[in-house]
């Protein structure tokens, strides 16, 4: 797109040196390998502990005995695992696939295959919209790297299951089934990332119905989720008869009128990805607008790692969200391929990645093997505040891979 980058481009020269150019991706990957080996040693211990959800700062998704993936640390530093039903269960298998991709070592492929297999039962779980997070992060990366026909079959079945949540009157997939006393048909901005599974299913099968659902969802969200400045509401509740929005509000942000940081990052990543699959210029414009909102916001810190909400009341004494920063970096690398402002977006992604690498990583051997620290899950619920979280590691390692490929002149997709 041709709008001029005004104001927010000044960030290129503020608060940073050329440190992003000095990022040694191979060394960072080696550190990530060391941490992940620590994690692999800690997982069996956590399973044996069978931590109860009644303990302090219980982790969402950790109820039950069939615990398959690490999600976070609790308030006293214990590793918390989740069942395959948890929306985050696919991210750790995805990290393992990324390590295999980045290093070429078969040991990571073997581990990835093992942890990915634990997610397969979710392919017929129609009670959740998080099929993309769970299945595409695990089986999607696995299929991309191995061309395993079984992985392809799981992806297709998962897309069929996800498609059952589409409501033609509303034009979107339903997000949550819980809290029916609050919402009739809630759609959250996070759901944009689950559309990748549907787009992929059309490419794998030739069945355009998946693509059409994804486009309908993206278009409806673009119409109803965003304010004039390209900031996004978290939740939009719809009337299933008229298809019109009833309420626009937050669930994990500071207020209904605020800009929850990870929500903005989901939106940036989602519309950039939608442009990849459709080449619809409306999605490119949307992604560029969201990027401008994020990067020009006066409350964005100089290190480009946002506070958990851009309008949190006690800035600068608010927790950061490294997961939002990792998402932004990965999305900006992709956006740099499509935008006329690509050079700026790539340089900004480099700076975010350098900042995360320098100041937000765990020391080697500590924090049960997590890679990034200082993410915020849900501040209003006092859940997972200023802790490591699996999706932060996932998008950080993905951003590292994208950085590496672009440096080497390789295709991202």
* Chain length of the chain: 413
- Kindly compute the dihedral angle of the four CA atoms of residues 156, 158, 164, 169, in this order, to the nearest 10 degrees: -80
Annotated catalytic residue, options 190, 303, 350, 393: 190
Query: CA angle, corner 209, sides to 123 and 220, nearest 5?
Result: 95
Q: Residues 31, 66, 74, 130: which is the catalytic one?
A: 130
CA angle, 260 as apex, 373 and 375 as ends, to 5°? 5
**Known catalytic membership, residue 130:** yes
**Residue in this structure with the two tokens 């219980």, named with its chain if needed:** 58
Q: Is 148 a catalytic residue?
A: no
Axis crossing angle, helix 91-103 with helix 106-117, rounded to the nearest 10: 160
For residues 381 and 373, the answer to whether their CB atoms sit within 8 Å is no
Catalogue the active-site residues. Answer: 130, 190
């Amino acid at each position: 797109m041709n709008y001029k980058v005004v104001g927010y481009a000044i960030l290129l020269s503020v608060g940073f040196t050329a440190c992003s150019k000095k990022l040694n991706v191979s060394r960072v990957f080696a550190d990530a390998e060391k941490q992940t080996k620590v994690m692999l040693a800690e997982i069996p211990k956590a399973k044996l502990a069978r931590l109860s959800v009644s303990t302090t700062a219980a982790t969402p998704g950790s109820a039950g005995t069939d615990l398959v993936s690490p999600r976070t640390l609790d308030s006293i530093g214990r590793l918390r695992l989740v069942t395959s039903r948890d929306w985050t269960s696919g991210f750790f298998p995805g990290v393992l696939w990324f390590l295999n991709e980045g290093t070429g070592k078969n040991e990571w492929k073997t581990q990835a295959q093992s942890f990915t297999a634990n997610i397969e039962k979710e392919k017929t779980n129609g009670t959740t919209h998080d099929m993309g997070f769970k299945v595409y992060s695990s089986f999607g990366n696995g299929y991309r790297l191995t061309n395993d026909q079984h992985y392809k079959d799981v992806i297709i079945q998962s897309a069929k299951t996800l498609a059952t949540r589409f409501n033609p009157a509303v034009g979107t997939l339903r997000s949550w089934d819980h809290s029916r006393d609050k919402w009739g048909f809630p759609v959250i901005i996070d759901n944009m990332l689950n559309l990748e599974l549907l787009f992929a299913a059309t490419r794998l099968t030739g069945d355009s119905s998946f693509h059409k659902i994804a486009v309908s969802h993206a278009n409806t969200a673009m119409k109803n989720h965003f304010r004039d400045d390209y900031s996004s509401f978290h939740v939009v509740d719809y009337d299933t008869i008229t298809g019109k929005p009833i309420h626009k509000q937050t669930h994990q942000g500071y207020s209904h009128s605020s800009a929850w940081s990870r929500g903005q990052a989901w939106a940036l990543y989602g519309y950039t990805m939608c442009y990849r699959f459709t080449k619809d210029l409306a999605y490119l414009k949307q992604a560029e607008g969201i990027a401008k909102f994020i990067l020009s916001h006066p409350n964005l810190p100089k290190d480009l790692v946002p506070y958990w909400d851009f309008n949190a009341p006690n800035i600068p004494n608010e927790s950061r969200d490294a997961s939002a920063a990792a998402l932004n970096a990965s999305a900006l690398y992709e956006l740099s391929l499509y935008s006329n402002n690509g050079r700026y977006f790539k340089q900004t992604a480099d700076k975010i990645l350098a900042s995360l690498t320098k100041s937000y990583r765990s020391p080697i051997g500590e924090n049960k093997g997590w890679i990034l620290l200082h993410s915020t899950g849900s501040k209003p619920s006092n859940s997972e505040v200023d802790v490591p979280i699996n999706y932060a590691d996932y998008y950080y390692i993905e951003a590292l891979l994208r950085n590496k490929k672009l440096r080497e002149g390789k295709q991202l997709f």
